[in-house]
A and B are shown apart, each in its own frame.
Chain A
């Protein structure tokens, strides 16, 4: 087990810069999730850590060791690929023992290690089958077994669950989490699924267009996003980003937001120096759907609940909740009501805003105003 440090890492393919100065650090036994939309460079970053891609500049350190120029097999890592990459001509047993065989570990010891891993992952009865005779979930387990048997310093997972169906994905997610708690090995995990990121990680790195957008705990990423991209990307349904004007109200600063027709609502804004600078200018008011509720569903522990009448256009019952769509700042905003809340479509209903959860962004730089 070891910590992992990435220092000013850049990577270009020819003239295309894929990663533009990434700084990350994950402590020993941590679970780092790299998340971002397709093409953001997250898989490239993982390949750079593995040594499958040469980095253009910067440094990768596993433990205290700079792994520059080190062959993938010498970095003390194990990787689980998106396609599982099981050797089709070998049995499950052969797949798991291949690495040990190459390293010249004797047969008795190999058998012992295989038994041990098969036990942990419950694949004992599959050992003599070929990969083509396994289901998706079983292949996933074998791929993990092949990684586990190496007892590496760092595990690398490249979108390991994206080929599984929805239910199996949830099961395997739990299993990976359990495995991490049990083994305590450092893990780097790539995904484009923000739910996976939030549930698994101890630290999340959000990447976009080759830049690190934010690096923090799941709680920081979710509740304290650094910019509009992170706010929009993490969470489902995603955060409402509402255009408004910052104004001086009777009781301090307030943000004015256009609603349905000619109506307007005003909500109090925090009175900080940075906010004062934006006085009289447009701001983006960000609030998560679960912080916009029917008054009875509002979080009673929150000291700052503001209730305003908003025009409800559409409601979408989703079993546990009902989502209400209301036009604010020229966009459809989603509010999360209790499932049995009474909703009058096509009329103004009170919506409670939990202002402790509200965040503000600068519409030009898209950065957070604190």
Chain B
């Protein structure tokens, strides 16, 4: 009787591991490929793109396409670059995210801790808002914006995104606060804290993870939105997604691929940064409440 060699077991384990890693590395490269194409081509001259290989690294790095995309290239009828539209997007995203997140937190607080008859029905209806496709609300929303005198303005876009995001933010906060001990709210009430004092002093300081999740979610959605931007903005309130589209479509004559690539990266940059900076909180926040601790 021979004892099975342990070396064999370890070696087959190593082989398996090597295989798994090879596969993983392959997929990592595969997923990074588009980013590579964008970055490398945005650093090439137009001649080099026309003459060469899409996947090849730039022979001589040039930042001209980036400068052009940012400040000089033709967007629509004006040669302003993406800069003013980037600013439009910031002016739209920041208030929309803050307002919808704040209202979502307040909704979650009321729905769980100041529950009233029909609270679940109200929550159900708000949840339904998450499933309404963008296209359905376009025409009624245009009418409402017109009535409010907000058509084609940045405040109008802020309102549209706030209303549309409310369903999601309420869902996030309601579920988070449902697990928040009610005894804490009662203790604060006995201590004499008012409705808003309980909210600001007790709930909000304990809501870090869900705030991060909601802000990332809202930021990404609002920044990346194209349909509302294309439908409800005028030339001085166009967000960057729409401007990027105009940039790509409005080039006359030669298509400046390097500028398009640079512009696309510029448009995607903020969401990338937000995700990289707070991504780990995002995962942690999504898991929060699943287990204690």
Residues on A facing B (Cβ under 8 Å):
50, 52, 71-73, 77-79, 81-83, 85, 87-89, 98-99, 102-103, 146
Question: Are A73 and B186 interface neighbours, CB within 8 A?
Answer: no
Chain A residues, CB < 8 A from B205: 89
Min distance, Cβ A69 to any Cβ of chain B, angstroms: 15
Question: Are A98 and B190 interface neighbours, CB within 8 A?
Answer: no
Q: Provided the pairs A85-B181, A88-B206 are in contact, do residues A99 and B186 lie with their beta carbons within 8 angstroms?
A: no
Q: Provided the pairs A81-B183, A83-B181, A83-B183 are in contact, do residues A72 and B202 lie with their beta carbons within 8 angstroms?
A: no
Chain B residues, CB < 8 A from A78: 190
Q: How large is the interface on B (under 10, 10 to 19, 20 to 34, 35 or more residues)?
A: 10 to 19
The reply to whether the CB of B47 lies closer than 8 angstroms to some CB of chain A is no
Question: Are B192 and A85 interface neighbours, CB within 8 A?
Answer: no
Map CB proximity to A onto B172-184 as digits: 1 under 8 Å, 0 otherwise. Answer: 0000000001011
Question: Are B191 and A73 interface neighbours, CB within 8 A?
Answer: yes
Question: Are A102 and B192 interface neighbours, CB within 8 A?
Answer: yes
Contact count A vs B, C-beta below 8 Å: 54
Name B187's closest neighbour in chain A (CB-CB). Answer: A85
Chain A residues, CB < 8 A from B46: none
Min distance, Cβ A7 to any Cβ of chain B, angstroms: 23
23 residue pairs from A and B, CB less than 8 Å apart: A52-B186, A52-B190, A71-B189, A72-B186, A72-B189, A72-B190, A73-B190, A79-B186, A79-B187, A81-B186, A81-B187, A82-B183, A83-B181, A83-B183, A85-B186, A87-B187, A87-B201, A98-B188, A98-B193, A98-B201, A99-B190, A102-B192, A146-B187
CA distance A78 to B197 in the complex (A): 19
Name B194's closest neighbour in chain A (CB-CB). Answer: A102
Name B182's closest neighbour in chain A (CB-CB). Answer: A85
Question: Are B191 and A99 interface neighbours, CB within 8 A?
Answer: yes
Chain B residues, CB < 8 A from A50: 186, 190
Chain B residues, CB < 8 A from A73: 189-193
CA distance A78 to B190 in the complex (A): 7
Chain A residues, CB < 8 A from B201: 87, 98
Chain A residues, CB < 8 A from B183: 81-83, 85
Chain B residues, CB < 8 A from A85: 181, 183-184, 186-187
Q: 6 tightest CB-CB pairs across the interface, nearest first?
A: A73-B192, A99-B191, A89-B205, A85-B183, A85-B187, A102-B192
Chain A residues, CB < 8 A from B197: 102
CA distance A146 to B187 in the complex (A): 10
Min distance, Cβ A296 to any Cβ of chain B, angstroms: 52
* Residue in B181, B186, B192, B193 whose Cβ sees the most chain A Cβ within 10 Å: B192
Question: Are B189 and A102 interface neighbours, CB within 8 A?
Answer: no
